[in-house]
Amino acid sequence: MDVIEAIKSRYSVRAYKPDPVSKEVLTQVMRAALRAPSWANTQTWEFAIIGGDAMKELKDILGTKAAAQDERYPDIPRPDWPSPYRERRRELGAQIYQLMGISRDDTEAQLRWFVQMYRFFEAPNAIIVYTDKGLSEWALLNIGLVIQTIALAAVNYGLGTTILAAGVSYPDEIRKLFNIPESKQLVLALAIGYPDPEARVNKFRSNRVPLDTVVTWYGF
Ligand SMILES: Cc1cc2nc3c(=O)[nH]c(=O)nc-3n(C[C@H](O)[C@H](O)[C@H](O)COP(=O)(O)O)c2cc1C
């Protein structure tokens, strides 16, 4: 697959077919993704790849905590985005709610949607990305690169992904479930699976600010 085609066709998939992704395909995705660049080839990343009963357990634990609206305590604190990022974030939420027919005051439907997110949108598989605690911020930059590379490699196999901060909101529970040592910080999660083509939410494509808003040209 052409790399530009893969970049353009990737989007956050928020509804999946139940079919599990085979270990073989996930291995191919990860082999490709591990070619991602990192500071001095430090490769400051580790992955828990989840399927089967382990996935069911993960979804149940996080879904239950989300339904109870238990306070989130991610290893990397959730940001309080200032303007203009706050407005972009609000716009995304409003667009998804509108598409899903969830009104502003329907708190029950909003909670149902929220719980679905913590259940990895019912994806059959997940990837939890973690690293050693106490590393520089550059380690996280490396992880951003490998995560996008996973997302793009997945497209090649007909897979969809969602990058999920939600998925690492209760890190102690996840460390315990998968025997991840205390010395590791959970950075992000991905839902991964075959997109449900019928799902309305998968018709959604997020906006981007115009190129001229974020790009300044010099010497042209
Ligand atoms: C660091 C990071 C955290 C994210 N966390 C979530 C999340 O918790 N829930 C969710 O539905 N999407 C999450 N996303 C997906 C973004 O909302 C999505 O990438 C953005 O809206 C752009 O849309 P697109 O991926 O469809 O192009 C996250 C993305 C990134 C990069």
Protein residue with its CA nearest to atom 31 in ligand 1: 163
In a domain, 213, yes or no: no
Distances in Å between the Cα of 83 and the Cα atoms of 56, 80, 89, 105, 141 are 38, 10, 10, 24, 23
| Closest residue CA from atom 17 of ligand 1 | 12
- Ligand 1 centre to CA of 94 (Å) is 14
Residue 163 belongs to what domain range? Answer: 3-200
- Domain contains 26: yes
CA 203 to chain centre: 18
Residue 217 resides in a domain:
no
Going from the Cα of 218 to the center of ligand 1, the distance in angstroms, rounded, reads: 31
Tokens for 199, please give them. 């799902």
Positive or negative torsion for Cα 144, 146, 147, 153? positive
Report the C-alpha gap between 20 and 70 in whole angstroms: 29
CATH number of the structural domain spanning residue 42: 3.40.109.10
Q: Find out whether 62 and 169 touch, Cβ atoms under 8 Å.
A: yes
Report the number of distinct structural domains present in the chain: 1
Domain assignment present for 153: yes
Mutate to test the pocket of ligand 1, among 163, 170, 190, 202 (most ligand atoms within 8 A of CB): 163
pLDDT of residue 14: 98
In a domain, 62, yes or no: yes
For ligand 1, whether the C-beta of 100 sits within 6 Å is no
The answer to whether residue 102 is domain-embedded is yes
pLDDT value, residue 1: 83
Is residue 189 in contact with ligand 1, taking CB distance under 6 Å? no
Residue 192 located in a structural domain: yes
Query: Cα(10) to centroid of ligand 1, in Å?
Result: 12
CA separation, residue 102 to residues 86, 165, 188, 192, 197 (Å): 20, 22, 27, 25, 20
| CA of 202 relative to ligand 1 center, distance in Å | 13
Query: pLDDT tens digits, the chain, 220 residues: what are they?
Result: 899 999 999 999 999 999 999 999 999 999 999 999 999 999 999 999 999 999 999 999 999 999 999 999 999 999 999 999 999 999 999 999 999 999 989 999 999 999 999 999 999 999 999 999 999 999 999 999 999 999 999 999 999 999 999 999 999 999 999 999 999 999 999 999 999 999 999 999 999 999 999 999 999 9
Residue 216 domain-assigned? no
Nearest residue by C-alpha to atom 3 in ligand 1: 165
pLDDT at 121: 98
Alpha carbon distance 79, 134 (integer Å)? 19
Q: How far is the CA of 163 from the centre of ligand 1 (A)?
A: 5
**Which residues neighbour 166 within 8 Å (Cβ) at sequence distance 6 or greater?**
62, 66, 117, 118, 189
Taking 3-state DSSP, the helix, strand and coil percentages for the chain, each rounded to the nearest 5, stand at 50, 15, 40
